[in-house]
Structures are given as structure tokens and as C-alpha cells.
Amino acid sequence: MKNIFSNYKLLIVAAALVSCNDDFLERYPLDEISNETFWNTENDLAVYNNSLYDLARYDNDVPILMAHDEGFNSHKFGIWYTDEFTDNIAPRHSRHTQYQQVRSGKHNVPSSANGDGQWYGYKGWSFLRAINVGLDNYGRASISQEVINKYIGEARLFRGWFYADKVSKFGDVQWIDHELTTESEELFGSRDARETVMSHVLEDLNFATENLPADWGDGGGPGRLNRWAALLVKSRVCLFEGTWRKYQGGSNADMWLQQAADAAKELMDNGPYTLYVTGDAAHDYNAIHRIPADLTGVPEVMYWRRYQLGVFTNHVQSYHRGYNGGATKSMVEDYLCTDGLPISLSPLYKGDAQIEDVFENRDPRLRQTILHPDDVSYYQYANNDTRPYPRVRGMEGGQTVETGYHIIKVYDNGPAYATYNTSATPAIILRFGEALLNYAEAKAELGTITQEDLDISINRLRDRVGMPHLDMNNVPVDPRYVNDGVSPLIIEIRRERRVELFMEGFRYDDLRRWKQGKKLEIPSYGIRWDDAAIARYPKATVLSSMVDGVPYVDVYKGTDWENPVFDESKHYLWPIPLSDLAQNPALGQNPGW
């Protein structure tokens, strides 16, 4: 991390000088950095790009290298919380109101891009300006074009990724590929068409994958993004765009899907990464998410953010204990049984009369994600609390959650109870397991997937936890998803993605690109709440509703978010803030807003 953040303040000054007036720049003072004297060596380009990494640390402004924000803001800005927009997690804390609003379809057009209302949205354009400043100047260095292209590739990876995020949220956006001044006509221009912008995005990502080095020589630490990271980002962006066009409308969907498959396959075949496997099927899945402080050398982790006391710290584990509200009934029920069948079909499913039954004969990833009552001591949960778990709102003492399903996938007890903002809990930003999922889904959407494709992707993830293989000739047909409009095979690949990538920031984008927003109209339920549960969890103040004749905790009953809606005509895209429209009416508002 030192090589990324050292001297970044110096480069912010250098970047600022780029926009100074010509008279000043012509002076070339010997004791100050100027644009005319800066761009000379490889070190100059490397240090300038370090400033891009620094800008990308602020996930609420630039939500691409998603990790944890620092200090107080680590309670809501970061990768662990984005699933709260969805049917995976059910927060109720007042500091997470934005998630509850979006989850229920009750969000409105924000007044500005500043603050909580648009932390995941229309902000961060200074990051783009910094990228374009570099791209306008890298070529001035007196070094080989091959070396220059490494840093151009780094900047173009950032730009393509940044624009892909903006397009995914807002549809049409302005494409800007050079530094603007206060006189630039583009400041008052209209948005460019999605297909135009995404063609430029693909050009940027292709340049990055062709010119970034496979290894920057940083020893596997969280230094610079390499070629393999660029391939994973490309596969992610192309999968989003291909499926969006397939289900939402647009041209060349198959081209994007093929690009996604090819990028993932190249990473799978030639990259130095592999799944983290020790042979311990009961713990390997969540082991990498619970390694404290340093993920260097973990073979599945492709890029991560380091935190260090006195430099850059977080408080994310402490907030994670209660702010997320717990996993939902919907999430828990998507884990297969150990015979490879969904709970709707498997004779092994024990039901949910008591929480212990939920874990019986289920995919081991369930017990590595959600707290089993018998695992409190193993995880030292709630600071080694001796009270019985789970615990729900209203119960006295201990750690409570809204749903009754405590999340332990990333839980680390020490940082969870550390002094405020002294924790170094790392964040995994890119991991190899995603490439396997991207490949399988792209091939399935293309209609070209084979059993061999499944065996080198989905079934490798299942092997890690000892689950049966997905067999193309014997795919279960889950009655709960027969109306989704896709094949049973795609349903199972989507299920695998939800389970494997839970709480890693994918579910909201997945539902939007699959055109499955209506799933967000299903209320967020928790554990079964019959007379036996009421007796088992004394003094709880949760409310319940009937689901198929059985009562379950109804997290948002009696709140503003009780009756979720998803408007197909507007909610797949986010609104443009009013302040941006006031400054440039030519932007136009998104449909329905």
C-alpha cells in the first residue's frame, strides 16, 4: 500500500497545476512542480497514477474499487453493505436509511450528488478529470512507448471501469476523454448514448488487458492493478452489459457475452490465481474472508485494500455486528441441500421449525455464512457471549439482529470490539471465484455451455465445499423460479452466484441486469416466529406475518418500508440529481423520475 499512497499529496498539487493559466506555467520555477517540467520519467507517471488510487479509496464517490471507507463512514460506505439494497440483507438502523429506501422502492430524486443520497451514484467526476489529465500528458515522458503504455493502460482501466459503473446506474452519460476547462462546450452538452459510451469502455478495457503487466513486482501485496485484474474487470463489465442488453434491450448482446466469457477464460487458463482450498470443506469458503489484516499470498485474492493503524483504518467490524440487520429468509432458503437439490425438491430438507433444522443437510456455505447456534464459541461471536443465539430485536443483552440470521461470513471478533477506528480489517476487492461464475453465466447465456465448462467453473466452487456437481443432463427445476423466464440451468448458475458472492456487492446489479427487480417486492422475512419461537426468544419485539400459513419475522412491518414496490418503468436506473440538472438542463432526467 505504501507504493500507492506515498507522495499522493504532491501529485494532487501537480494535477492542480495542469489547469493553471499559461502565464504562470511559462515561469518554470526551479523550486516548484509544474506541468511543463513534471512528465519526464517512469517514476513521474507511477507517482501520478498513485493519486488515482488515492481518489478511488473513497467508495461513496468512486464506487469501483469497493472496500471499506475509513472511520465513522465505514458503518455504511463499502462493499459489505451493498447487498442491503436487495433481498439478501435486511437493515433497519437509521444510519442505513438509504439502503432501506432503495430496497423498498421509496427513494426520490436527490437534490444534489453530495451526501448519503447519492453515495452510490452521480458523483466522482473529479476522478475522471484526473484520469484524463494523465492521459493527455503521459506521452511527454522520455521513456519507451511500451513503458508509457503500462500507465496509460492503468488509467484507461480506471476510466473504463468508472464509466461502466456510471452507465449501469444512469444509462446514457457524457463521454469525456480529455481534460476540460471552464470554457469547454462539453460542460453544457447532452448525454451520449449508452451504446456509444460502452464501445469506448470496451476500447479502454481492451487496451488495459493488452498493455498492463502481468506482475508489477509488488510481491502480491495490494499495490497496482495488473493485467489479470483487468481481465476480471472486463469479464464483469461485459457480463453486465451483455445480459442488460439481452433482457432490457440493446444490440450486440452476444458480442458482449462472448467478450465476458473470453476474458474470464483467459484468466482461468493463464493467470496465477486459484481457489483457496485446504481440504477443510467446513471452513475453507469463509476462511479468506476472515484472515486478519494481511491477504498477501492468498491464491484466490487478486486485489484487496490494506488498512494499517496510524495510516488508514476502519471500524467496519463493529458496525457489521448490528447495523446490517441479518440475512433474509429468501437468502437462507436459496442454499441447496447436500443432494444438490433445492429445498423445494429435496427429501433431505428438515424445514425451519427451529433454527438448527435450517442447517441440516445443507450446502456447507450456509453454516459458513450464517451463525449456527453451536458455532458461537468457534467464532467467538459477540465477544464470546455465553447467551443462547440467535438473538433478535428486543432481547436483553448480547448482539441482536432483525432477522435472526446473524452473518458470520466476514466476522472477526477482535476488530469487532476494538477501540473506535483502530482496526485493520482488509477488504477483498477482486477474487478469482468471481471469474468462474462470470464464465459459466456468459457461456450459459450464449447457449454454448458444455459440461466441461461447468466442471471448470461452477463445479470447482462446489468441490471446495463438498457439494454435488451441477449436471447439465439432470438440472433440478425449482418451482419457485419457473416464472423467471430463463432455463433451469441459468437459474442454478444464478443461485450459485448469489450463494458464493453473498455480501460481496453483486446482488443489486445482478437483479437489475437480469430484469428481476420484481424480486424486491417480496417482503424481507426472518426466522420462523411461531409459539415455540416466541417462547425461545423472550422479550423480543419483532413483528410477524404469515407466509403460506406459517408466521415469520417481518422485518419492515409497521415501518415506511413495509410495502416494497419496484416500478419497472423507472427503478432499473437511478435519477440524475436536481443540482446537476440545474447546472446543465441538457442532461435530461431518466424515465419515470
Q: pLDDT tens across 61-117, in order?
A: 899 999 998 888 888 889 999 999 999 999 999 999 999 999 999 999 998 876 554
CA atoms within 13 A on the CB side of 569: 3
| pLDDT the model gives residue 554 | 98
- The verdict on pTM exceeding 0.85 is yes
Averaged pLDDT for residues 169-193? 94
- pLDDT interval class at 265 (50, 70, 90): very high
Averaged pLDDT for residues 378-399? 95
| pLDDT the model gives residue 75 | 86
- Do residues 391 and 537 make contact, with C-beta atoms less than 8 angstroms apart? yes
For the segment 266-301, what is each residue's pLDDT rounded down to a tens digit?
999 999 999 999 999 999 999 999 887 899 999 999
d(CA 68, CA 79): 6
Above 70 in pLDDT, residue 542?
Answer: yes
d(CA 144, CA 42): 9
| pLDDT the model gives residue 10 | 34
Above 70 in pLDDT, residue 28?
Answer: no
- Do residues 337 and 361 make contact, with C-beta atoms less than 8 angstroms apart? yes
Least confident of 35-39, 102-106, 404-408: 35-39
| pLDDT the model gives residue 291 | 80
Averaged pLDDT for residues 33-45? 87
Averaged pLDDT for residues 527-539? 97
Above 60 in pLDDT, residue 23?
Answer: no
- Residues in contact with 584: Cβ distance below 8 Å, sequence separation at least 6, in sequence order: 187, 188, 189
Above 70 in pLDDT, residue 9?
Answer: no
- Residues in contact with 447: Cβ distance below 8 Å, sequence separation at least 6, in sequence order: none
- pLDDT interval class at 47 (50, 70, 90): very high
Percentage of the chain modeled with pLDDT above 90: 84
- Residues in contact with 289: Cβ distance below 8 Å, sequence separation at least 6, in sequence order: 409, 410, 428
The CATH number that domain 1-63+124-212 falls under is 1.25.40.890
Averaged pLDDT for residues 178-189? 91
3-class SS at 423? strand
Alpha carbon 50 to chain centroid, angstroms:
22
Above 60 in pLDDT, residue 198?
Answer: yes
Least confident of 188-202, 281-295, 384-398: 281-295
Phi and psi angles of residue 439, each rounded to the nearest 5 degrees, phi first: -65, -50
Phi and psi angles of residue 505, each rounded to the nearest 5 degrees, phi first: 90, 20
Q: What is the mean pLDDT of the chain?
A: 92
| pLDDT the model gives residue 7 | 36
Averaged pLDDT for residues 310-318? 92
Averaged pLDDT for residues 430-459? 98
The residues facing 545 across adjacent strands are 552
| pLDDT the model gives residue 124 | 87
| pLDDT the model gives residue 80 | 94
Amino acid at 216: W
Higher pLDDT, 198 or 119: 198
- Do residues 462 and 353 make contact, with C-beta atoms less than 8 angstroms apart? no
Above 80 in pLDDT, residue 33?
Answer: no
Least confident of 2-11, 141-150, 520-529: 2-11
| pLDDT the model gives residue 17 | 37
Averaged pLDDT for residues 255-265? 98
d(CA 213, CA 221): 15
Averaged pLDDT for residues 502-507? 97
d(CA 438, CA 434): 6
| pLDDT the model gives residue 2 | 36
